[in-house]
Amino acid sequence: MSEINNKIDFELNYKEIEKRKDRIRKIWQYKQVDHIPLGIYIIDNKEKFTRKEIETEKEKNLRFDLNSIKKSLNLLPDDYIPFLKPEVGCTTIPTILGSKVSYTKDFENYSTVEEPIVFKIEDLEKLDIPRDKNEIIKKGLMPGNLEKINYYKTVTKGLIDTTGLDIGGVLCGSVDIMDTNLFYMSLITEKEKMLNYLGRLSDLYIKVQEILTGEVGDLNKMTNIDWDVSWYPEGSKGYVSDDPCANFGVSTFETFSKPFNKKMYDRFGYGGFHNCGPHPCASAYLQYDEKDIRKKVRAINCSLQFTYKELDKYISVFSGSNTILYFLFEEEFYNSERAIELYKELVSKGIKYNVVCIPSYPLDASLHNDDDISDIFNEFLKTSKEYALSLKLE
């Protein structure tokens, strides 16, 4: 392939983009809107980059992003807010601690750690967790992460909002570096040692996010601080992923997740929380301080596929809380006809419990022609208009 010379070769209608952002600001407050926003966007990998190429080569990552933005702007008449997505996989913290990255050949699969590096609790206690910024920026994926963010800024000149990198949360990083059995057993048998370690690890998470968001330069030019492409309103950019909580109960979540998630939210704002599903801890997702109702997560992101079996129960948990529920619609699990049916089912349950449910739905341009994409969007839009009329909004 010839040298990639990236540039923005499409128009950005900032007045229209601001109108779309304002619709999200309103629905986050459960205020009246003309339709419930749709998180539909197009991915256009027409140059057939591998996932490893996208994660490791900044020029190819940005070319993929710009191709996808251009296609989305051309075909989606509303709701779409352009975003850049610098991708590095979800192993940044583990690599700082010494893990190696395993890349996949498929486009659909993101990189993972090669293998655990902690096999007994004594190894965890001895783990070198850096605290100094000058040390952190030299370790693992961090040099490449900062180089990619800087390259994006240089080429796009801050004209397009960006996601953060997929940093996750303390338990996500821990389950990657630790032997799986050791991780879950230690939550039961090594409470004090785990809490001590998670305290140190959470300081690293905060520092890494401060470094990365500082390199971006403006939180309000980010969708949120982590990987999620959904645009979050100002003041609510904080975000934590905690997929391990799918495997334990509320008491464990309250002990080993929330104190460390809280540090991230206190620093960057109470915004979003992700767990693919299932959701045994859903009742504890939102409130972080019973004496201060402002310290409350505003949005939950999950996989529709891994939440579907408990969908009614899950949505009911958030009735009356003015929470926004984002659902990942993943094309590897169902086609567009099924996706439309599932959205209608979401809407039905959302109306039942007066909860706003928003699909986050990437349409692969290699699987759909332009007319199909327009038809899919219009079907979703029709339902979302009916949804807005049926909800009890201010």
Task: Give the residue-averaged pLDDT of 123-152.
Answer: 97
pLDDT of residue 342: 97
**Whole-number Å distance between alpha carbons of 231 and 81:** 7
Domain count, the chain: 1
Q: Domain of 64: which CATH number? A: 3.20.20.210
Q: Which two tokens stand for residue 41?
A: 């966007």
Q: Is residue 9 part of a domain?
A: no
pLDDT band at 189 (very low <50, low <70, confident <90, very high): very high
Query: What's the chain's length in residues?
Result: 394
Q: Which two tokens stand for residue 220?
A: 């309000």
At 288-313, the pLDDT tens digits run: 998 898 999 999 999 999 999 999 99
Residue 327 DSSP SS3 = strand
Q: Is residue 381 part of a domain?
A: yes
Q: Is residue 59 part of a domain?
A: yes
Task: Give the residue-averaged pLDDT of 221-249.
Answer: 98
pLDDT of residue 1: 54
Instruction: State the CB neighbour count (10 A cutoff) for residue 347.
Output: 21
Q: Containing domain of residue 249, as a range?
A: 14-390
Q: Is residue 2 part of a domain?
A: no
CA angle 112, 113, 114 (to 5 degrees): 115
Task: Give the residue-averaged pLDDT of 241-245.
Answer: 98
Q: Which two tokens stand for residue 236?
A: 């609510």
Q: Is residue 62 part of a domain?
A: yes
**Whole-number Å distance between alpha carbons of 203 and 217:** 21
pLDDT band at 106 (very low <50, low <70, confident <90, very high): confident
Residue-averaged pLDDT of the chain: 97
pLDDT of residue 125: 87
Q: Detail the DSSP E strand segments found in 176-292.
A: 239-241, 272-274
**Whole-number Å distance between alpha carbons of 380 and 342:** 10
Q: Is residue 310 part of a domain?
A: yes
**Whole-number Å distance between alpha carbons of 162 and 23:** 19
Residues 6+ apart with CB under 8 A from 371: none
pLDDT of residue 109: 84
Phi, psi torsion values for 287, nearest 5 degrees:
-85, 130
pLDDT band at 332 (very low <50, low <70, confident <90, very high): confident
**Whole-number Å distance between alpha carbons of 326 and 304:** 9
Q: Is residue 60 part of a domain?
A: yes
Give bridge partners of residue 255 from the DSSP assignment.
none
**Whole-number Å distance between alpha carbons of 76 and 73:** 6
At 21-74, the pLDDT tens digits run: 999 999 999 999 999 999 999 999 999 999 999 999 999 999 999 999 999 999
Q: Detail the DSSP E strand segments found in the chain.
A: 39-43, 83-84, 101-102, 112-113, 161-162, 239-241, 272-274, 299-303, 324-328, 356-364
Q: Which two tokens stand for residue 163?
A: 């996601």
Q: What b-and-e string marks burial along 105-119, b requiring 16 or more CB atoms within 10 Å of the CB?
A: eebeebbbbeebbbe
**Whole-number Å distance between alpha carbons of 126 and 192:** 15
Q: Is residue 28 part of a domain?
A: yes
pLDDT at 75 over 70: yes
